[in-house]
Amino acid sequence: MGFRVLVPMDDSEMAERALEYALETHPDADVTVLTVVGVPSMLMGDAVSLALEDDLDEASREHAAPVLKRARAVAADHEQEIDTTVGVGHPARVIVRDADDYDVIVMGSHGEHSADVTRRFLVGNVARDVFRRSPIPVTSIR
């Protein structure tokens, strides 16, 4: 197995830039894009509706589909293939839990281009938590 890169991705421009960086910097690596669908909380409105779905797995895949479609398009623009996966839970915990299967995490430092102020706040906290808890190196893209 070759060098493996994990790219956590949401719908922000910052996350897309992180994927582009990973593809350009590690052209021969196995790149996996991870999209995490949050768990219900007072701050995550979209996740609350997911919790009400009968089939959480199907609802999670449906919720993540636009992000993963964009990730595949970015990879195609770089003439590279990627793997995609969907996690369910608190984003930082899911990223750190999966980190041992990879050599490096490449992620946006925050979702500054997201229109939702609450989402920007949460994404910044996710990046901070991953930096503090990751068992592998983390490359932050601004």
Among 35-44, 88-97, 132-141, which stretch is predicted with the lowest mean pLDDT? Answer: 35-44
pLDDT in tens, 48-93: 555 555 566 777 888 899 999 999 999 999 999 999 999 988 899 9
The residue-averaged pLDDT of 100-126 equals 69
> CA-CA distance, 98 to 116, in Å (whole number)?
27
DSSP state for residue 135 in the 8-state scheme = S
Higher-pLDDT residue of 111, 9: 9
Q: What is the pLDDT of residue 121?
A: 43
Q: Is the pLDDT confidence value at 124 over 80?
A: no
Q: What is the pLDDT of residue 50?
A: 56
Q: Which domain holds residue 133?
A: 4-141
CATH number assigned to the domain comprising residue 97: 3.40.50.620
CA 96 to chain centre: 11
Mean pLDDT of the chain: 84
Q: What is the pLDDT of residue 60?
A: 82
Query: For the packed helices 91-98 and 117-133, what is the interaxial angle rounded to 10 degrees?
Result: 30
Placement of tokens 């839970």 in the chain? 89
> CA-CA distance, 108 to 16, in Å (whole number)?
8
The residue-averaged pLDDT of 26-45 equals 79
Q: Is the pLDDT confidence value at 113 over 60?
A: no
pTM of the predicted model, to two decimals? 0.82
Q: What is the pLDDT of residue 62?
A: 86
Q: Is the pLDDT confidence value at 41 over 60?
A: no
- How many domains does the chain divide into? 1
